[in-house]
Amino acid sequence: MGAVKKVAEHAFVAFEFRLRAIADAGAVKAGQKLSWSAVFPLKKGQDIPPEGFLHLPQKQKFAPFLFLERTTLNIANATVSGDETSGWRLALTDQSTVTVGKPFTGWDQFLAWSPQSALDRLAKHVPGPLDLDTELQEEVVLRDYEVGKAEDGDEPGQTVYPITMGALTLHALIGAGAEGKALKKSIDEIRKVRGANPPLFGLMHYERCRLVFQPLTTFPGSSDYITISKENVNKAALLKAMDFRS
């Protein structure tokens, strides 16, 4: 459904893939939320974009870029934690396998969302002193929305776009540097669209009495992963990185 990208300069690059089960498997039922994360340490002298790490093979002999191929994936011998409410987290073992299945086109079945479910969770939540800002994070889909003019965020280099959908106003935060470059470009392109904007999938949480939104994917038909740069990866630099990791 979407990919969260995090870049900590001189430290690591991390991706979290937000998924949907399309068939029952043990405790996980068709339609339920799953996620899988990959973290790559940044080595001194590496000169490749964050997306380059998605092409590096894992122990299980697959490259994480498979999660962006708009196909089904067959994942075997993995473990899951969590529950159907908060979502399931996938963990791969040395015995796990990840293989490509059939092309996928049934996105519409996963693009329904109502604010009522978020309101229900808020009503039941009892805040505590150790709560994180993302304690009640929601996967949301926006339709019939408008993207306002960019503003400066709270952090240096951060950009904020106000997004309105009916009575809701969300603050889309985009980081500086490599982390937010592709996303900012995509949001600027959405602002230029005449007529209805495509459905927009992302993550929402509550911070400083604001609805903070992480845009991840638009669905003009198929999925367009707007956090991921479409620029070509420097293959020579990527090979260097692979040699360094071996």
Is the same domain home to 129 and 85?
Answer: no
Q: Is residue 227 part of a domain?
A: no
Please report which confidence band the pLDDT of residue 243 belongs to, taking 50, 70 and 90 as the band edges.
low
The residue segments making up the domain with residue 47 are: 2-104+233-245
Q: Is residue 228 part of a domain?
A: no
Please report which confidence band the pLDDT of residue 9 belongs to, taking 50, 70 and 90 as the band edges.
confident
Q: What is the dihedral of CA 186, 188, 191, 196, to 10 degrees?
A: -10
Query: With 90 as the cut, is the pLDDT of residue 14 above it?
Result: yes
CATH number of the domain bearing residue 144: 2.40.50
- CB burial readout 174-204, b (16+ within 10 A) else e: bbbeebbbbbbebbeebeeeeeebbbbbbbb
Q: Is residue 129 part of a domain?
A: yes
pLDDT at 235: 65
In the chain, the N- to C-terminal Cα span, in Å, equals 31
- pLDDT > 90 fraction of the chain, expressed in percent and rounded: 66
Is the same domain home to 130 and 216?
Answer: yes
Domain total in the chain: 2
Angle at 55 between CA 53 and CA 59, to 5 degrees: 90
Each residue's pLDDT tens digit, 53-64: 998 889 999 999
> Looking at the whole model, is its pTM more than 0.75?
yes
pLDDT at 237: 65
Mean pLDDT of the chain: 90
Q: Is residue 226 part of a domain?
A: no
